[in-house]
Structure 1
């Protein structure tokens, strides 16, 4: 689990740097001179959306790291059973085992 924790911490650092870079890019908001459909506005909005997506990923990673520290990582929130390591490999932020996730749907 220590290796996984190191990977997540590295990813967190990388994401925070990228969010900072995008924030600097967003600080130079385009002129709305051309109005709707202006490529500069479209690019600004796409950058903003990308930044929000990265912020959401940061929240997920922080949650995983918190659960690791508390000893709750890899344990299903609903049934208390261990989550399959293969599932955690694909979805490290998951809090439900496959059985409980399917039952939720």
Structure 2
């Protein structure tokens, strides 16, 4: 291999705790912002749609809080279905996920 050839990026098997906490803090802040926006919706807002959106945002916020607890307990990044590491790429996209893709597809 030549020195000019870029090396493929080596991805760690597990995400570092500080990086996970940063991503989860970002997710938490985004969901709190969404909840504030829902709360500030004017009288013309469709109440049923706003209620459904609020329920969804609160659910995701709960998942974020659970993921923070898993970081603190040392179980973050391990699939709760098969106990194997969740790929870092999946955690980068969905930092609060509890399952690897295979277990999620299997209905875990």
Q: Give the TM-score normalised by the residue count of structure 1.
A: 0.66
In structure 2, the residue matched to 1:7 is 23
Aligned Cα root-mean-square deviation (Å) = 2.5
Q: Does 1:64 align with 2:80?
A: no
Instruction: Give the unaligned 5+ runs of structure 2.
Output: 1-15
Q: Give the equivalent residue in structure 1 for 2:55.
A: 52
Query: Which residue of the other structure, out of 82, 95, 100, is the alignment partner of 1:97?
Result: 100
Partner of 2:77: 74
Change (3 A) 1:10 1:90: closer
* CA-to-aligned-CA distance 1:20-47 (integer Å, 9 cap, x gap): 442354xx8x6xxxxxxxxx5x711111
1:23 counterpart = 2:23: no
Unaligned runs of 5+ in 1: 31-39
Aligned partner of 2:46 in structure 1 is: 43
d(CA) in 2 for partners of 1:52, 1:80 = 29
